[in-house]
Structures are given as structure tokens and as C-alpha cells.
Amino acid sequence: MIDLLSYAAFFLTMALTYAVICLGLNLQWGQTGLFNVGVAGFVAVGAYVSAILTTPPIEGRLGGFELPMIFGWLGGGLAAGLLCLAIGALTLRLRSDYLAIATFGAAVVIQLALLNLEGLTGGPFGVGFIPRPFGALQGDADLFALSNLSVMIVTVLICYLALEHLVRSPWGRVLRALREDETAARALGKNPVTYRLQAFAIGGFVMGIGGAAQGHFIGFIAPDNYLPILTFQVWTMLIVGGSGNMRGAILGAVLVWAIWAVSGSAVSALFPTEQQARAASLQIVMIGVALCAVLLLRPRGLLGEAGTLRRAKTRTAPKISEGTETNA
């Protein structure tokens, strides 16, 4: 039973780090309609910057500033936010899917940088000895797990309340107005690029914090943790939970992480070792199909967006698409 308690606490802690990432994505996509395909890259930036700021120095690698953890988390968030700002500034004036392509490319380059900039990131071996919250309590497994969990619950609460406050503020109303009817919002004098850029950068900041937190709970990060599959998991969490709804983002993160963990251990329990890689790829196929199915059948997710009347989706004449859909 004792093992079960600390395992449950650790599981929930990990799920809540995803919830923070998911909250950041929700501001970008759910509230603003910006499609970020590079989530893994921004999460990685948050995790690595925080690790470099807080770890003890190591021969041959930059960093080792041994700063308190809070500076690491904020620094990680800030770095990811600034990166989002740069990519947003590059693409948000152009067609809406250029942002998707650019974030995809950014994630590819960040992955390359993690692997090749060994003096900064430790290369393929990653960064170890990342201080863990309440490291002094490590002797008592339960107390350690529960205190970690409480740190994460507080973090999620802060992010949730701050974002909820933001989206209910006049600023958040402008974001939704831009998403729903850009022409009308422009007619009221709101500059779409500025608002979208702000939302994209703040979302990136939150994502970076989620990444930093994750690194500190695992204690070790490597480039393999930040493959495109991570982007996909976070997206599935948001879509399943219901984009546009902050509570949905948290619920989706816990739910999808649970499904992922259970199906992952089912794969390792049911299949012989040599077949496990194949079974794992089938696991990803199913998630891909599930994402498409949710988009087709239940586009609002489990919880959907609260408090807004979205435009009716019915159209009489079949159209090829939205036509001249742009961001500008």
C-alpha cells in the first residue's frame, strides 16, 4: 500500500506537469486559435534553461549556476516565451498555417541543438543531477512524493487562476473576438497581430514552466524526452479535454496521461520484448486516429468551451474551404 501511495502521487505529479504545458497550449490554441506544432521544442527549452541555471557545475558544460529552483523555473518560462515571441513575430502577419510550419521547424532545430551543442546541453546524454523539490526529504518516499505533488498542485492552481483571470479580462475578450470574427474586432480598432503575439508568448512562458517543472521532478533530461510525440500527447490532452476550457485542459492532461501510462504498461506486460517497439507504434497509431476522430465527431472535446456562444457551424453550400483565411 505504501508503494501505491507514492506511485499515485508521482503519477499525479507528472500528469500535473503536463497540465501546465496544456494550459499554455490552451491559451495559444483554445483562446486564440494559434496552431503550435513545436510544443516539444518549447518544453525542452524551458527544461534545459532551468536545468542549466540550477544544476551544480560540471566539467566541459556551460552552466552550473546552482540558482534556487524558482529562478530556474522562471528563467525556463522566460526563454520559451521569448522564443515564441520571435517565431510569432516572424509568422503571425502571414498565412495562418505558416505559424504551424515555423513552429514545426523550430522544434526540429531545437532537437538538433540539444543533440549537438554538447557544451551547453550535454549532447545525447542530457543533463543530470537536476535538484528536486524537497530533496532533503528523499529518505521518506511517501512524504517526498506528497510534498512534490503539493508543489505541483500549487503550480497548476497559480497557472490556472492567472490564465483564467487573463481570459476573463478585457484582453481575453479581445482574443476570443479576434478568433470568432476578426473583421468585427478590427473594426473596433483591435490590432490582431499584437494580441495574438502576446497570447502566443504568454502561452510559451507557461509551457516553459511546465517543461522546467517536469525536468526537476524527473531529475534528468535528455533530447529523447522531447521528440515530436510529446507535442502530439499534449495536443491530444487539450483536444480531449476540450480546447478553450482551462479546466478541460487539466482534466485532459490527467486523463490522457493515465491512458498513456496504462496502455504503455499493458504493452510491456502483454508483448514479448522483441515485439514491444511494434506494439508501441500501434499505440501511437491509435492516438493519431483518436485525435482525428475527436476532430470529426466531437470537435469541442469532453468539456468544451464555457460561456461563449460559438458561431453556428452549419453551412448550406459545400465549400472547398474557408478561402482567404489569413492571420493578417
Partner 1 sequence: MTLQPIMDGLVNGAIIGLGAIGVTLTYAILRFANFAHGELLSWGAYLALTLSGALGALLPGLGTSLGPFSFGWSVPIAMVGSILLTAALTLAVDWLLFGRLRRSGAVTIILVMASFGAALALRNLLEFAYTSSPKYFSNALQISREILPGLRATPDQLLVVALGVVLVVLVHLLLTRTAAGRSMRAVSEDPQLSALVGIDTRAVIRMVWVLGAALAAVAGIMSGVVVQIRPTMGHDLLLPLFAAAILGGIGSVPGAMLAGLIVGLAEALTVQVIGAEWRAAVSFVILVAVLLLRPQGIFGKVSA
Query: Are the C-beta atoms of residues 47 and 223 closer than 8 Å to each other?
Result: no
Q: Distances in Å between the alpha carbon of 293 and those of 19, 209, 290, 296, 323?
A: 22, 31, 5, 5, 24
Nearest distance in Å: CB 46, partner 1: 20
Binding string, residues 225-264; x marks residues near partner 1 by CB under 8 A: ---x---x--x-----------------------------
- Which CB, 82 or 94, lies closer to partner 1? 94
37 forms part of the interface with partner 1 (CB under 8 A): yes
Site for partner 1 in 103-162 (CB under 8 A): 104-106, 108-109, 112, 115-116
| Residues shown for the chain | 328
Reading the block at residue 277, the C-alpha cell is 517497439
Nearest-5° Cα angle at 241, 236 to 245: 125
Q: How far is the CB of 278 from partner 1 (least distance, A)?
A: 5
Contact region with partner 1 (CB under 8 A), list: 8-16, 102-110, 201-209, 263-271: 102-110
71 contacts 259 by C-beta, under 8 angstroms: no
Q: List alpha helices for 169-304, DSSP H.
A: 170-180, 182-187, 192-218, 228-241, 246-270, 276-297
Residues 279-318 that bind partner 1 (CB under 8 A): 281-282, 284-285, 287-289, 291-292, 295-296, 299, 313-315, 318
> What residue has cell string 534556487?
68
Using CB under 8 A as the binding rule, whether residue 98 contacts partner 1 is answered as: yes
Cβ atoms < 10 Å from Cβ of 224: 11
Give least dist CB 141 to partner 1, A: 36
* 328 three-class SS: coil
Radius of gyration of the chain (CA): 20
Give the whole-angstrom CA distance, residue 231 versus residue 53: 24
User: What is the smallest separation between the CB atom of 129 and partner 1, expressed in angstroms?
Assistant: 26
Closest CB 314 distance from partner 1, rounded Å: 7
Minimum distance between the CB of residue 90 and partner 1, rounded to whole angstroms?
5
**Closest listed residue to residue 239, CA positions, set 179, 182, 193, 289:** 289
Scanning 30-68, the segments in alpha helix (DSSP H) are 39-54
Q: How far is the CB of 123 from partner 1 (least distance, A)?
A: 10
Residue 67 interacting with partner 1 (CB under 8 A): no
Q: Residue numbers of the site for partner 1 (CB under 8 A)?
A: 33, 35, 37, 90-91, 94-98, 100-102, 104-106, 108-109, 112, 115-116, 228, 232, 235, 277-278, 281-282, 284-285, 287-289, 291-292, 295-296, 299, 313-315, 318-326
